[in-house]
């Protein structure tokens, strides 16, 4: 993909692939094109096309993307706990139908195979989507992100900007998108919360794409580094941030 702004090329022939369980760190100086690339990946902007072969962003079916932008966070008049429970609201109708089937099976002298099969499928879906453990999961994530139970019923708009960012991270973790994109996630986190987030993300089922200036966070989280070098070029390196620095130094010494 390529991208121009006011006649200046910001992204030059960017070609990358993100696999299912990738842990990628995206780095570069301010203004190099990181945010533009993320906005294109999330569909917020379109790349510029000059041929039929460039400007294509393709995704596997059923791909979901969660994106935490810099200087963004949750807002609104809903309470914290209600906002987090909203992640699991699609399970409400499933639970209601299960209750109807339970009542039917309790009252019917003979339970039909169709009813039994429908209940089994619904129960399996409900369990697979954390229906039975959603409350525990919500409390675990909120606690890990530094919120106590006294915060649960507070209106989101009453929190500071940094706290709203932490709430946004918490909701994304609960949503579990296939691709989680975090732009400077550690900016509003203390050391204890950063350690908790690192530990939580190590078991994350989807792919991670992280923009950060925190080299220690990238060393702990990334197994590949995408680095903007020159004007608009993206170069890939294996390993974490320290591995990138060593590889970059070797490349410079060979020039």
Residue-wise DSSP of 18-45: --TT-EEEEE--TTSSHHHHHHHHTTSS
- Express each pLDDT in 97-126 by its tens digit: 989 888 888 777 667 788 888 888 999 998
Helices 113-128 & 92-107 angle (0-180, nearest 10): 150
Q: Name the band, by pLDDT with cuts 50, 70 and 90, for residue 178.
A: very high
- Say yes or no to pLDDT of 254 above 80: no
Q: Residue 255: pLDDT band by 50, 70, 90 thresholds?
A: low
Given a contact cutoff of 8 angstroms between Cβ atoms, the answer to whether 181 and 42 are in contact is: yes
Q: Which of 178, 128, 174 is nearest to 147 (CA)?
A: 174
Tens digits of residue pLDDT in 49-76: 777 778 888 999 889 999 998 767 788 8
Q: Mean of the per-residue pLDDT values for the chain?
A: 90
Residue 220: band (very low, low, confident or very high) from pLDDT cuts 50, 70, 90: very high
State the alpha helices, DSSP H only, in 78-188: 80-85, 92-107, 113-128, 134-144, 161-175
Query: Higher-confidence residue: 44 or 51?
Result: 44
Lowest mean pLDDT of 42-51, 110-119, 122-131, 230-239, name the range.
110-119
The per-residue pLDDT for range 138-166, each reduced to its tens digit, is 999 999 999 999 999 999 999 999 999 99
Closest CA to 193 of 176, 211, 170: 170
How far is 238 from 248, CA to CA, in rounded Å? Answer: 11
Work out the percent of the chain whose per-residue pLDDT is above 70: 98
Q: Per residue in 193-206, pLDDT tens? A: 999 999 999 999 99
HSE-up of residue 148 (Cα within 13 Å, Cβ side): 1
């Amino acid at each position: 993909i390529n991208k121009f702004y006011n006649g200046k090329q910001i992204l030059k022939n960017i070609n990358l692939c993100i696999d299912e369980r990738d842990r990628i760190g995206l780095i570069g100086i301010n203004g190099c094109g990181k945010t533009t690339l993320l906005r294109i990946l999330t569909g917020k902007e379109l790349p510029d096309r000059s041929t039929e072969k460039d400007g294509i962003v393709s995704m596997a079916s059923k791909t979901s993307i969660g994106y935490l932008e810099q200087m963004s966070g949750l807002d609104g008049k809903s309470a914290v706990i209600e906002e987090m429970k909203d992640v699991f609201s699609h399970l409400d109708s499933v639970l209601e139908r299960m209750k109807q089937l339970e009542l039917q099976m309790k009252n019917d002298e003979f339970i039909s195979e169709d009813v039994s099969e429908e209940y089994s499928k619904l129960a399996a879906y409900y369990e697979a989507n954390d229906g039975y453990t959603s409350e525990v999961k919500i409390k675990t994530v909120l606690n890990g992100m530094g919120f106590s139970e006294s915060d649960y019923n507070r209106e989101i708009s009453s929190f500071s900007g940094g706290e709203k960012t932490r709430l946004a991270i918490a909701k994304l973790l609960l949503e579990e998108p296939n691709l989680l994109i975090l732009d400077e996630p550690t900016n509003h986190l203390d050391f204890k919360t950063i350690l908790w987030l690192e530990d939580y993300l190590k078991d994350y089922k989807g792919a991670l794409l992280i923009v950060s200036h925190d080299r220690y966070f990238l060393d702990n989280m990334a197994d590949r580094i995408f680095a903007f070098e020159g004007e608009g070029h993206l170069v890939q390196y294996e390993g974490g941030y320290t591995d990138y620095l060593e590889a970059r130094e070797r490349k410079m010494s060979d020039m």
